Structure 1
């Protein structure tokens, strides 16, 4: 069941990832983030890919497949988080700064996934929601920045 406690885990995961992204953007002047390095044929395609497809694929690969595999191997939970975070960071990096941001966000997603896995049968759904909300918020901030 998706309880209030699980909802808070999703909310905190979203907030921590968004805070990480905003801090990196503000202090390191990465206002363009990763989002502008991609090109799309239409705004609809951009929204579909950034807010639905990417989080779906990323949560499936970086949290569900990797963490579930490591959990089944009885690896220490901290190692599970670090491996998932490292791979998430590598996948989101073209610079060391983007790697750091990706690693930190990957840490929050992996940690949230493990907490939800322990508390419910919906860890994938919860982290997908947090990731999609994060991407939606970054997209909206990016759009506002483009129009200023």
Structure 2
């Protein structure tokens, strides 16, 4: 979960209402920015009027009719928020692995034969692939 400039919760690029965030995650939900959450909701794209301020391409991606918002395990749990296991689906893992491969290929091309940079690219790819298994999100970094 991230926060927009207006401090609205943003989940996987879709906006959730502050009211839903507070209802499901408690009054301290903003403290969970950066944590993984699982949302069961209806996806809707609000098409903006011409000349209105919108996020991308005149569309605001929304999460509506929210049935649940759960904090994934491994995250801090303020105010007794329930924590659940949010293991990534096979499709999420596959998309993540594909992105790791693309990032690795781009990194290797930009390394231009520099052995140290190539080692860092390899390290980042392994880290990225490991993250895919745990969270389903590519994190291409070498720690």
Q: TM-score range by the shorter chain?
A: under 0.3
Normalized per residue, the structure richer in strand is 2
TM-score between the two structures when normalised by the length of structure 2: 0.27
Greater RCO between the two (CA within 8 Å, min separation 6)? Answer: 1
Normalized per residue, the structure richer in helix is 1
Q: Which of the pair has more CA radius of gyration?
A: 2
